Amino acid sequence: MQLSALKKLVYCHSTPGAESEVFALLTEQWQAAGWNTRYLGRYAVLAERPMLRRHAPTILVCAHADSPGYIISSIADGIGTAVPLGAPVCKRPNQKVNALSSSGKTVVSISDTGQGEVTFPTVPGLQRGDRLAFRPSWRHSADGRVQAPFLDNRAGCFLLTQLAQVLPPALPANIVLAATGGEEFTGFGANVLARAVPADLVLCLDATYSSEEQGICLGGGPVLTLSDRSVLISPAVHQCLAELCRSWKLPLQVEVYNYSGTDARAFPLAGNPALVLPLLIPSEGNHSPKETIDCADLSACLELLTRLCSDSEAQAALLAEPSASGGPRP
């Protein structure tokens, strides 16, 4: 894997509703790999093969491009106030962040008031509506771990770039790659995407929490969400994917929540009957300036995505209509 592409994504500004830098970088890399690209307004960007096969299933692999940040709500008497877009974790007083305005990027120091907002000594050129985001950093250690902000969900976007490079031209399914905006705040990007792409199978990439209670660990492989506020996976589908992973000798972790969620929620709510599988990268320090992931999980997830996009029998097994007993048809 080319981790330099992940580092470039980390250094992009991409708060909810301001994802243009990530969208542009993804478009550049997809086009370099021979894919056609198109925008869905400002809500999402897609990559497709030049030739689509009729009567073949369509697999949509998507990831949100935004990360939590702040939007300036007021400036008065030299003090700025900003409210969160999503749920950034800022525990350190005087946390240095990048402020993005029409005149460019500058650095300010924010402090959490404990009342759902942050304050900072303002600098010239900032105004209401400008965005704040943690300052990018990058550490790739010898044990294969990466520590940086925004890995939720630049890791998913990175997998989209790598998948575009490794998939062969001839596949049994039509593959669509997509990055969405606003997942951390509003979810509008996925709502637009769900109505624009009539997929049969959606592989929704995101990050999740490492959790001793859930048995989710860094280096343990990608995570399938069985339930949260956005998805509910049937036992038959869970069993089918688990058996496929065993046959391919690939690790798969599973988690169960009754809160949180991903872009997966948008598809059934839009009336899109696609099977949606959230495949997540385990992370420590989610939404903070120092998130940590294991590159082994990226590699395993990329291999799983490649298999699911390339194996017609696996696609047929996952997409089989349920029988009267609730399992897939024989």
**Residue 292 shares a structural domain with residue 270:** yes
Q: Mean pLDDT over residues 46-59, rounded?
A: 88
Answer yes or no: are the C-beta atoms of 201 and 274 closer than 8 Å. yes
**Residue 161 shares a structural domain with residue 266:** yes
List, for residues 27-48, the tens digit of each pLDDT value.
Answer: 999 999 999 999 999 999 999 9
CA pair distance 298, 220, nearest whole angstrom: 11
Q: Mean pLDDT over residues 104-116, rounded?
A: 92
The mean pLDDT value of the chain amounts to: 94
Question: Is 60 exceeded by the pLDDT of residue 297?
Answer: yes
Q: How confident is the model at residue 325 (pLDDT cuts 50, 70, 90)?
A: very low
**Residue 224 shares a structural domain with residue 275:** yes
Question: Is 80 exceeded by the pLDDT of residue 330?
Answer: no
Question: Is 60 exceeded by the pLDDT of residue 294?
Answer: yes
- Domain end, chosen from 134, 160, 190, is at 134
Query: Could you tell me if residue 294 is inside a domain?
Result: yes
Instruction: Report the number of distinct structural domains present in the chain.
Output: 2
Query: Could you tell me if residue 172 is inside a domain?
Result: yes
Answer yes or no: are the C-beta atoms of 309 and 175 closer than 8 Å. yes
The torsion angle over the Cα atoms of residues 169, 170, 176 and 177, rounded to 10 degrees, is -40
**Residue 170 shares a structural domain with residue 270:** yes
**Residue that wins the pLDDT comparison between 103 and 262:** 262
Query: Could you tell me if residue 126 is inside a domain?
Result: yes
Question: Is 70 exceeded by the pLDDT of residue 328?
Answer: no
Q: Mean pLDDT over residues 244-261, rounded?
A: 95
Q: Which class for 313: exposed (0-12), middle (13-18), buried (19 or more C-beta within 10 A)?
A: exposed
pLDDT of residue 85: 97
Q: Mean pLDDT over residues 200-220, rounded?
A: 96
**Residue 166 shares a structural domain with residue 178:** yes
pLDDT of residue 27: 98
**Residue 55 shares a structural domain with residue 80:** no
User: Would the pTM of this model clear 0.85, i.e. be above it?
Assistant: yes
**Residue 84 shares a structural domain with residue 176:** no
Domain span at residue 87 reads 70-134
pLDDT of residue 62: 98
Question: Is 60 exceeded by the pLDDT of residue 324?
Answer: no
pLDDT of residue 326: 52
CA pair distance 60, 58, nearest whole angstrom: 6
**Residue 57 shares a structural domain with residue 87:** no
Question: Is 60 exceeded by the pLDDT of residue 175?
Answer: yes
Q: 65 vs 115, 182, 205, 245, CA distance in Å? A: 27, 8, 11, 27
**Residue 14 shares a structural domain with residue 94:** no
Q: Mean pLDDT over residues 166-191, rounded?
A: 96
Provide, rounded to the nearest whole percent, the portion of the chain with pLDDT above 90: 89
Of the ranges 196-205, 268-277, 318-327, which one carries the lowest mean pLDDT score?
318-327
Q: 61 vs 47, 82, 220, CA distance in Å? A: 10, 34, 22
Q: How confident is the model at residue 327 (pLDDT cuts 50, 70, 90)?
A: low
pLDDT of residue 165: 97
Q: Mean pLDDT over residues 63-77, rounded?
A: 97
CA pair distance 257, 235, nearest whole angstrom: 15
Q: Mean pLDDT over residues 218-236, rounded?
A: 96
Query: Could you tell me if residue 21 is inside a domain?
Result: yes
pLDDT of residue 92: 83
Of the ranges 47-61, 227-241, 255-269, which one carries the lowest mean pLDDT score?
47-61
